[in-house]
Amino acid sequence: LELSKIEDAARRLKGKIAEPLAWSPNYFDLAGCRIHLKFENLQYTASFKERGACNKLRLLTEEERARGVIAMSAGNHAQGVAYHAQRMGIHAEIVMPRFTPMVTVDARALGAEVVLYGALLEEARSHAVELATLRGLTFVHPFDDADVIAGQATVALEMLDEVPDLDTLVVAVGGGGLIGGIAAAAKAIQPRVALSKSSPDITGMLQSESTMSTWCAFRIDSASAPFLAVKMRSAPKDRN
């Protein structure tokens, strides 16, 4: 992912995305170093996911905007796509597993048409791809899309612009779109910066085979991360 593509995304998002960064005296006392916090929870839908969604939607052609978009998500991507599609006057459909928590189904309140399908994320994804083909909609992937990743990567641009001498960036990991984009931007701007990843220790995603330097695990409850209530795929069958 080229730095120029991330910089273009930053220009598209300017004025449409919150950019708060602050350092924490409390964490300084605990860690003995200056820690800056990027408050992505202050986005309208309380997530960085808005960045990728907004960048992707703003890159659509007039014809694609007229046809509409579709996404698969049981989390913040759904609300990010719904919110920015509504702002831009684009029809949006969101496919979610049937057992998605109602806090996420509230994407309807943001103007999206919500389709509940299947018990697993993979089932919902496959259905969304089918609907995209049948209805001529643009599929907006939650992380496996260069334009979405470029949008997420703008987090790093803003942080390094405000604090150029940052030593380490600690990044939340799920699908990998955020840390992938931040890694591309940070290493292009400041090659010496270190990257560490953090994730709930129950996900098992991006484990030791990852090329990133550090794994930080922490425990969370279902209220703080409702998407964890939805299964990604079925468990392996017992071979015995």
What's the confidence (pLDDT) of residue 8?
98
Query: Which residues, listed in sequence order, are joined to residue 170 by a DSSP beta bridge?
Result: 196
Write down the pLDDT at residue 126: 96
- Ramachandran region of residue 165, left (φ > 0), alpha (ψ -120 to 50) or beta? alpha
The pLDDT, as a whole number, for residue 193 is 94
Model confidence, pTM: 0.82
For 86-111, give the DSSP string: HHHT--EEEEE-TT--HHHHGGGGGT
Asked whether the beta carbons of 111 and 92 are under 8 A apart, the reply is yes
- Number of CB atoms found within 10 A of residue 217's CB: 11
Q: In Å, what is the CA distance from 53 to each residue of 80, 82, 139, 156? A: 6, 9, 11, 17
- pLDDT tens digits in sequence order for the chain, 240 residues long: 999 999 999 999 999 998 889 988 888 888 888 899 999 999 999 999 999 999 999 999 999 999 999 999 888 999 999 999 999 999 999 999 988 877 566 788 899 999 999 998 899 999 999 999 999 999 999 999 999 999 999 999 999 999 999 999 999 888 889 999 999 999 999 999 999 988 766 544 444 444 444 434 433 343 344 444 445 454 444 333
